[in-house]
Structure 1
Amino acid sequence: MIKQKNSIWQGRFDGDEALQQRIWQRVSLQNSYDEISPKDFVLHGFAVDEGVRRNKGRVGAALAPEVIRRNMANFPVVKPDFSLKDFGDVACASTLEAAQAELAAKTSSVLANGGRSVVLGGGHEVTYAHFSGLRKAFPDKKIGIINIDAHFDNREPEAGIGPSSGTGFWQIAQEGAMHSLHIGIQRNSNTLKLFDTAHQYGMHYITADEIFFENLPGIYERIDDLANSADVIYLTICIDVFNAAIAPGVSALAYSGIFADAAFMHFYRHILQNKKLLALDVAEVNPALDPDQRTARLAASLVNEWLMS
């Protein structure tokens, strides 16, 4: 039997007992940030891909939040205290910059009230917005960023175009010291200039070629170095880091991208288990280019790993 809470949050109904419930049964639709309790997962969609358009990518990611929600809805609940509060979507009603400022204000309210922030993009311009919310909520804390991505996204904005999905880390660096680790970086997707910029700004990285099972101890060490030096951790995942075979619906395909295999899941879950992790987002899912919703399902599964960790 299929039941629904609204037109998006719906799924299989096995019963109302705690052992039978699925995520759609535990979602509450909210509009007051005063009702957030400590440790609640609080969800926003970032239905924006103006940054992808500015960055000359394949547009369509603005449609992703609803599709990812639908793919999250039917996952089973495995934690008795699980709570997910959905505050709807931020859209690009006027400018990209205004949409980023709106998301920053909303996620700041979540974090200031003790919630854990989850954002479904949208383009990877979500990074600057989400980080800005963290900085607003924790102005005196050191924020460590883990970026799982094929790209550094540290381009300087083009004159006459402005910030885009590829400029987030450049923007962050202009506002103070950056503490970041970028995992999955592709040498065939970043110019030498972008590598040089990463070195100048202290952006530590692990290339896609370094992600294999035997190298997990070294990857764990790099993750722990960042986490131990930070007060708060923010994790952002650009789905175009994954191989086109499992993530075809993205703005920039990666024929040699990584897989969500055992090596990946080991270090990914290691990040999720860190109590300093307070914010996570997924970006660059493009439903218009996603056969069988494979990419959206992958994004939903990665979010679910945190919800149920």
Structure 2
Amino acid sequence: MREAFYRFTPDPRSGKAFTELLAHTFDLGDLRLKRTLEASQEHFGRLMAPLLREGKLLVILGGGHETAYAHFLAYVHAEQSVHILNWDAHADVRPLRDGKAHSGSPFRQALIHPSKRCRSYTVAGLLPHSVAPEHLHFLHEQHAHYVWRDALTADRITDLYHQAHAPLMVSFDLDAVDQAFAPGVSAPSIDGLDPEHWLQAAYEAGRCPAVRSIDLVECNPRLDRDRQTVRLAALTLWTFFCGLAERIF
């Protein structure tokens, strides 16, 4: 697996493609937050929608997992239906609190959104001790799919992308990674994914032609240890872009 995963590293053509990709990559800056989370999510969705209509590939960084709902709203405002793949130790389909959104509710909100723009939802990396029976019941009701962490072999990760429908929105929650490698998150995971499988998921997301956008969330430097999580987040992006360079060039 390791030799297969890193096969692009010694190929000089890959380095050239990666450099070419970076030359066509633009940083749009930070989002200026509104007074409420809901207003910020709506604002973000409206800002990103024109880019989706133009066929741009979006990479969204930072925040808690509530960012994923803002990410989904970009498709709503672009009037594009989307499939969602979430790499996470939790299903993140918790009910709203007093009608308010939070980091545990984004995919419930997407699944029940009146626009019906969420065509399917798959969460991969679930830990049995981190998922309530009520959440699994909700996933069954919504015909959503889930994959337990123990079932995520290298082949299974690849298959999730090969079987994906376009357009695909991919969400990377760093708390899916074992806390030994990603301590700087709001809900550290015992027995989470190892970095090799996590990075394979990022690499395959870059290569997969169905993927139109990704987000990378839940990195909290204040909770980090020796910048382990920050470095993993940076490596996740680098690995995604390596896969994307292969796809585009």
Instruction: Give the TM-score of the pair, scaled to structure 1.
Output: 0.68
What is the rounded CA distance, in whole Å, between the counterparts of 2:81 and 2:61 in structure 1?
24
Shift in Å at residue 77 of structure 1?
8.0
Task: Map 1:141-152; keep pairs closer than 5 Å.
Answer: 141-152=80-91
What is the rounded CA distance, in whole Å, between the counterparts of 2:129 and 2:119 in structure 1?
24
Contact 2:203 2:242 in 1 (8 A): no
What is the rounded CA distance, in whole Å, between the counterparts of 2:82 and 2:42 in structure 1?
19
Q: What residue ranges of structure 1 are gaps of 5+ in the alignment?
A: 1-18, 23-75
What is the rounded CA distance, in whole Å, between the counterparts of 1:77 and 1:220 in structure 2?
22
What is the rounded CA distance, in whole Å, between the counterparts of 2:226 and 2:176 in structure 1?
19
Task: State the partner residue of 1:239.
Answer: 174
For the pair 1:157 / 2:157, whether they are aligned, the reply is no
Task: State the partner residue of 2:67.
Answer: 126
What is the rounded CA distance, in whole Å, between the counterparts of 1:200 and 1:268 in structure 2?
29
Q: Give per-residue Cα distances to partners, 1:180-216, cap 9 Å, x unaligned.
A: 2111011100110111111111221111111234xx2
What is the rounded CA distance, in whole Å, between the counterparts of 1:295 and 1:94 in structure 2?
29
Contact 1:104 1:130 in 2 (8 A): yes
2:188 to 253, 257, 269: 253
2:57 to 105, 113, 116: 116
Identity of aligned residues (%): 27
Contact 2:123 2:146 in 1 (8 A): yes
Q: Give per-residue Cα distances to partners, 1:190-243, cap 9 Å, x unaligned.
A: 110111111111221111111234xx2x44334333x1xx33011101100001
Task: State the partner residue of 1:135.
Answer: 76
Task: Map 1:1-309; keep pairs closer than 5 Å.
Answer: 78-82=18-22, 83-137=24-78, 139=79, 141-159=80-98, 162-175=100-113, 176=116, 178-213=119-154, 216=155, 218-225=156-163, 227=164, 230-261=165-196, 263-309=197-243
Instruction: Give the TM-score of the pair, scaled to structure 2.
Output: 0.83
What is the rounded CA distance, in whole Å, between the counterparts of 1:132 and 1:193 in structure 2?
25
Contact 1:143 1:231 in 2 (8 A): yes
Q: Give per-residue Cα distances to partners, 1:249-302, cap 9 Å, x unaligned.
A: 0000112111111x4444442332112211111111111011222111111211
> What's the C-alpha RMSD, in Å, of the aligned pairs?
2.2
Q: What residue ranges of structure 2 are gaps of 5+ in the alignment?
A: 1-11, 244-249
Structure with the higher fraction of residues in helix conformation: 2
Structure with max Cα Rg? 1
Q: Give per-residue Cα distances to partners, 1:98-132, cap 9 Å, x unaligned.
A: 11011111221222223211111200001110011
What is the rounded CA distance, in whole Å, between the counterparts of 2:232 and 2:17 in structure 1?
18
Contact 1:181 1:223 in 2 (8 A): no
Aligned partner of residue 288 in structure 1, secondary structure? helix
Contact 2:161 2:208 in 1 (8 A): no
